[in-house]
């Protein structure tokens, strides 16, 4: 093997033409997954279909590995646990960002697992290794299935054993069909008489049914090919797949210690001045802030987003300096570590300040999704800073990538466990009971995760709040009941089911009738005949 060939192999693994040993069983497994994807997703709003698909795909990969007698890497097989958790999380939470994280996290974990299924080494991944996996595995899913599918087809139809003629005829008919469709469409557009002839000839056919069937078949075939490509990418021998920059850095350190120390020292001084001001004004209490010309809420409202951005940029700066600055002498390494540690400590104080600003802002204006996201995110960012310091002193900064991956996974799990929209409702109701105002339109705009606590509150809410809240809950109940009738079982979610059951138990909603109105598409008619527009009517198939 030449040096060039070895270099290519170490980056992308075996050639796209590589095939598993038991081609036909693996291909049939992929076909079953493709048919399952068609049943679960085609024409249906995703619901329980997504976790079922993820579980079937996971089981299919393990079954194919058993057929191939392939032993999955020891530690990477544990990725199956968060894959199952995140995928099933999507039917218990309908808050958009949590739902997105569940779907995206499941797909990313599948991608990483396929990349490391046989080779392992996830704990030694660098940032570039994660990037290569996220880019290359989807490409493999399209590049790898063709050779395996061709071999499986020949084995299935017995081509080469006297039946190659029938196979060739079938392939010819399949290839001729789209050509005939295109030319027939053009000719019917060119001549009205020929168009009448074609319409009469095809009148006995159910064109809508044919188009529907053709679309479903194409969907199943595409899903099967993607599944086959993913299975092959995971099962074939990975070759000598070296990690990016592990043995030899892709870019040698080029920055001297003096330059790095000046950069870190300057930022340390700036952050120290900022923290001193924070202690004097922000941590010193409301009197110091009002003396400076600000109200407490005005001061709290400014800056928590900027402080989180500063933390991110600072961590990235230290990482880059750690990678690209030369620190040959022990004194230089110690000096760099001390300056970096001081910077991290200052960042910790700033994150505490950002969190305290957020708490004050929420006490003054209430809870929203963005503010709650930040609540969950700041502690995990603090964990990442601590991990960075530990790796810095142990000389293993390369390990920051897989540990950051775990921290991100922890953030996603925390979001699911918290139930963001229900949390927002409960915290805002606490403020309302403490004498603050309540933003009913905002609470109604949240997902079905918020419906159970809203239904419980509506039962004993003041009359003016009930007048604003009950019509919108009636609209949501009517929508959920209609969706239940029109959607298939594939679209079922626990969140929508819980919301519907909670609202059905609220007898106060029996006073309202939801129907078409002149303004909004739907409105709730109250006991006095007054029509209230359904403000957040969405999600129809």
Q: What gap in Å lies between CA 297 and CA 283, rounded to an integer?
A: 14
Angle subtended at Cα 517 by Cα 516 and Cα 523, rounded to the nearest 5 degrees: 80
pLDDT tens-digit readout, 132-172: 889 989 988 888 888 888 888 777 766 555 455 666 776 67
Contact 447, 470 (CB under 8 A): no
Q: Evaluate the CA torsion angle 216, 217, 222, 223 in order and state its sign.
A: positive
Q: Residue 357: its pLDDT value, please?
A: 72
In 42-125, alpha helices (H): 49-68, 80-89, 96-116
Q: Find the range with the poorest average confidence among 20-24, 303-307, 369-373, 537-541.
A: 537-541
Q: Residue 165: its pLDDT value, please?
A: 64
Angle subtended at Cα 419 by Cα 415 and Cα 422, rounded to the nearest 5 degrees: 145
pLDDT tens-digit readout, 223-275: 999 999 999 988 887 765 666 655 665 667 778 888 888 998 999 899 888 88
- Which of the two residues, 539 and 462, has the higher pLDDT score? 462
Give yes or no for residue 455 having a pLDDT over 50: yes
For 144-258, strand residue ranges (E) read none
pLDDT tens-digit readout, 464-498: 899 889 999 999 998 898 888 888 899 999 999 99
3-state secondary structure 446-461: CCHHHHHHHHHHHHCC
* Residue 25, CB-side half-sphere exposure with 13 Å CA sphere: 13
The SS3 of residue 533 is strand
Q: What gap in Å lies between CA 248 and CA 245, rounded to an integer?
A: 5
pLDDT tens-digit readout, 177-201: 778 888 888 888 888 888 888 877 7
Q: Which of 274, 255, 414 is nearest to 345 (CA)?
A: 274
The SS3 of residue 205 is coil
For residue 462, what is the DSSP state?
-
330-365 and 369-394 helices cross at what angle (nearest 10)?
170
Q: Which long-range contacts (CB under 8 A, 24 or more apart) does 336-339 make?
A: 336/257, 336/260, 336/261, 336/264, 337/392, 337/393, 339/261, 339/264, 339/265, 339/268
Q: What gap in Å lies between CA 156 and CA 30, rounded to an integer?
A: 14
Q: Residue 244: its pLDDT value, please?
A: 62
* Residue 38, CB-side half-sphere exposure with 13 Å CA sphere: 21
pLDDT tens-digit readout, 504-521: 999 998 888 888 766 557
């Amino acid at each position: 093997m030449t040096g060039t060939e070895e270099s290519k192999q170490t980056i992308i693994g075996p050639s796209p033409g590589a095939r598993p040993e038991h081609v036909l069983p693996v291909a049939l497994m992929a076909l079953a997954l493709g048919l399952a994807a068609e049943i679960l997703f085609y024409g249906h709003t995703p619901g329980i279909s997504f976790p079922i698909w993820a579980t079937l795909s996971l089981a299919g990969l393990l079954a194919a590995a058993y057929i191939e007698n392939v032993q999955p890497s020891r530690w990477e097989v544990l990725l199956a646990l968060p894959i199952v958790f995140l995928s099933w999380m999507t039917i218990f939470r309908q808050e958009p960002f949590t739902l997105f994280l569940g779907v995206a996290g499941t797909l990313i974990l599948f991608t990483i697992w396929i990349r490391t299924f046989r080779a392992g080494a996830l704990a030694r991944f660098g940032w570039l290794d994660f990037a290569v996996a996220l880019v290359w595995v989807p490409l493999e899913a399209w590049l790898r299935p063709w050779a395996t599918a061709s071999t499986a087809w020949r084995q299935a139809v017995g081509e080469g054993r006297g039946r190659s003629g029938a196979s060739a005829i079938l392939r010819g008919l399949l290839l001729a069909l789209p050509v005939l469709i295109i030319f027939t469409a053009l000719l019917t557009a060119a001549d009205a008489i020929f168009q009448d002839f074609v319409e009469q000839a095809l009148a006995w056919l159910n064109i809508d049914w044919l188009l529907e069937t053709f679309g479903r078949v194409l969907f199943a075939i595409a899903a099967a090919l993607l599944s086959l490509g993913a299975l092959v990418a995971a099962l074939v021998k990975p070759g000598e797949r070296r990690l990016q920059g592990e043995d030899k850095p892709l870019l040698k350190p080029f920055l001297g210690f003096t330059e790095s120390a000046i950069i870190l020292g300057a930022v340390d001084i700036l952050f120290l001045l900022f923290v001193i001001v924070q202690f004097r004004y922000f941590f010193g209490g409301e009197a110091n802030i009002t003396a400076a010309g600000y109200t407490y809420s005005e001061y709290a409202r400014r800056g928590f987003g900027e402080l989180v951005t500063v933390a991110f940029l600072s961590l990235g700066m230290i990482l880059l300096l750690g990678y690209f600055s030369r620190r040959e002498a022990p004194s230089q390494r110690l000096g760099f570590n001390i300056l970096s540690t001081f910077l991290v400590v200052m960042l910790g104080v700033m994150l505490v300040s950002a969190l305290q600003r957020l708490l004050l802002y929420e006490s003054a204006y209430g809870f929203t999704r963005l503010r709650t996201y930040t609540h969950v995110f700041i502690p995990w960012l603090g964990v990442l800073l601590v991990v960075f310091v530990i790796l810095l002193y142990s000389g293993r900064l390369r390990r920051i990538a897989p540990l950051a991956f775990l921290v991100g996974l922890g953030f996603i799990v925390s979001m699911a466990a918290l139930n963001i929209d229900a949390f927002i409702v409960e915290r805002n109701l606490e403020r309302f009971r403490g004498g603050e105002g309540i933003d009913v339109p905002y609470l109604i705009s949240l997902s079905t995760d918020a419906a159970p606590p809203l239904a419980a509150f509506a039962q004993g809410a003041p009359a003016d709040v009930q007048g604003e809240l009950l019509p919108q809950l009636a609209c949501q109940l009517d929508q959920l009941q209609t969706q239940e009738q029109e959607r298939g079982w594939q679209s079922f979610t626990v969140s929508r089911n819980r919301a519907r059951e909670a609202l059905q138990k609220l007898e106060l909603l029996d006073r309202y009738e939801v129907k078409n109105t002149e303004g909004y598409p739907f409105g709730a008619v109250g006991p006095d005949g007054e029509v209230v527009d359904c403000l957040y009517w969405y999600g129809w198939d």
